[in-house]
Amino acid sequence: MDFDFSDDQRLLKDSVDRLIADRYDFEQRKKYANEPDGWSRDMWARYAELGLLGLPFPEAAGGFGGGPVETMTVMEAFGRGLVLEPYFATVTLGGGLLRHAGSERQQAALLPQVAAGELKLAFAHVERQSRYDLQDVGVTATRDGAGWLLNGEKSVVLHGDSADKLLVTARTGGSRRDPGGIGVFLVDATAGGVSRRGYPTQDGLRGAEVSFANARAEDVLGDPGGALPAVQRVADEAIAALCAEAVGGMAAMHALTVDYMKTRKQFGRAIGEFQVLQHRAVDNFVALEQARSMAMYATMMAASDDAAERRQAVSAAKVQIGRSGRHIGQEAVQLHGGIAMTMEYKVGHYFKRMTMIEMLFGDTDQHLAVVAGGGGLF
């Protein structure tokens, strides 16, 4: 048991923290958001330069062999900066699918491009009826000669509008909610039969609706009917990463709130002098530390090969993050008052991002049900 960073981890943390501090303040972020993609190509190049885009990939595939702790470090800093770029979509989700479902050939072909910042990925898995259920897949993939043709629609594909390639769950057999018969297909985003409608998401990031009409897949990752375990594993890693991002955001919101309380004056004194508000800030702090603890727990367990154990741990963390995030977010707004309701002030943006994170890969109640369905955490 050792909570200290190794030298390499410390180095990584320092450089990411510095990057965010130097290049991702609120005004800079606004500028990035107004660029054509809704994020900064310049920052993307810097991430590539720093090695962040290949961080969790095997060294053989041009990566740095980083593990969950390294991802946590990056995501926490990105949470603090409210980073707009498609890191989560490309590296965590897309890269994760290639790592866990792709062949060595596929990894060797694609991961180096991702690490170099030349290839952006998106993961299309949500459907109109599926909500948060990864195995509820209606999009079909049918054999066509040596290849596959995709048909159907995917919803809320994170950063699906700017992705170069899409990784799409599609059904090759079984009925709509069967665990078997699901494959992950690699599709060029500009291929014939693929159409995309991009939009901003509520938190200022990007999403897209994507439809497939006899769209030809470039490739399939692993078993065309047996990809669900890999998809679930990627989802678990993704949740651990989101937990870390959320902790970064919560910590920043909490710090902003405490600072505001010390400077904002009402009735002749700083509102931070009112004991009742102090105690609420303390409850936020406790909620933050509990969330941080659980983000670490999820990080620790995300690499576990025991799928049931991993799932319990990750779901428990998602519940804690969801509850702490909602509490801290709502309280940050309330303790600030009207200013937090405006686009011009940063806290509201954290609040919105927390709200969206709570909805990604299963909401709090769904994950609570997962934990409740297990045999106990102890």
Partner 1 sequence: MDLKFTPEEHAFREEVRHFFRTAVPESIRRKVLEGQHLTRQEIVASQRILNEKGWAVPNWPVEWGGQTWTPVQVYLYQDEMQQAGVPAPLGFNTSMVGPVIAEFGSQAQKQRFLARAANLDDWWCQGFSEPGAGSDLASLRTKAERVGDTWVINGQKTWTTLAQHADWIFVLCRTNPTAKKQEGISFILCDMKTPGIKVRPIETIDGGHEVNEVFFDDVVVPYENLVGQENKGWDCAKFLLGNERTGIARVGTSKARLKRIRELAKLERVGDRPLIEDQKFREKLAAVEIELKALEMTQLRIVADERGRQKGKPNPASSILKLKGSVIQQATTELMLEVAGPYAMPYVASDEGDGRNEPGYGPDYAAGAAPTYFNWRKISIYGGSNEIQRNIVAKAILGF
* Closer of 11 and 282 to a second copy (Cβ): 282
- Assigned token pair, 98: 């290639």
Identify residues 157-176 at the interface with a second copy (CB under 8 A). none
To a second copy, the closest distance from the beta carbon of 147 in angstroms equals: 50
Task: Output the smallest distance, CB 277 to a second copy, in A.
Answer: 9
Give the position of tokens 């259920």: 133
Identify whether the C-beta of residue 75 lies closer than 8 Å to the C-beta of residue 248.
yes
Taking the complex as a whole, the smallest distance from the CB of residue 269 to a second copy amounts, in Å, to 12
Write phi, then psi, for 140 (nearest 5 degrees). -110, 150
Rounded to an integer, what distance in angstroms lies between the CA atom of residue 363 and that of residue 194? 29
Q: What span, in angstroms and rounded, lies between the C-alpha atoms of 356 and 332?
A: 16
Q: Which is nearer to partner 1, 26 or 199 (CB)?
A: 199
Nearest distance, CB of residue 155 and partner 1, angstroms: 6
Q: Which partner in a second copy, partner 1, none is near 146 (CB below 5 to 8 A by kind)?
A: none
| Partner that binds at residue 1, options a second copy, partner 1, none, CB closer than 5 to 8 Å by kind | partner 1
Q: Which of 104, 209, 226 lies closest to 169, judged by CA?
A: 226
C-beta of residue 100 within 8 angstroms of C-beta of residue 233: yes
**CA–CA distance, 137 with 127 (Å, rounded to integer):** 7
Of 230, 245, 257, the residue nearest 334 (C-alpha): 257
Shortest distance in whole angstroms from residue 106 CB to partner 1:
28
Of residues 36 and 375, the one with the C-beta less far from partner 1: 375
Nearest approach, Cβ of 64 to partner 1 (angstroms)? 16
Closer to partner 1 at the Cβ: 69 or 98?
Answer: 69
Q: Which two tokens stand for residue 221?
A: 């990752």
Nearer to partner 1, 117 or 138 (CB): 138
- Considering only residues 248 through 277, tell me which ones interact with a second copy, judged by CB under 8 A: 274-276
State the minimum distance, in angstroms, from the CB of residue 312 to partner 1: 10
Residue 15 partner contact from a second copy, partner 1, none using kind-dependent CB cut-offs of 5 to 8 Å: none
Neighbours of 100 (CB within 10 A): 18
Residue 328 and residue 345: Cα distance in Å, rounded? Answer: 16
- CB neighbourhood size of 32 (10 A): 22
CB proximity list for 333: less than 8 A, separation 6 or greater: 340, 341, 347, 348, 351
- Among residues 278 and 304, whose Cβ is nearest to a second copy? 278
Contact string 275-314 vs a second copy (x = CB under 8 A): xx-xx-----------------------------------
Residues that bind a second copy (CB under 8 A): 274-276, 278-279
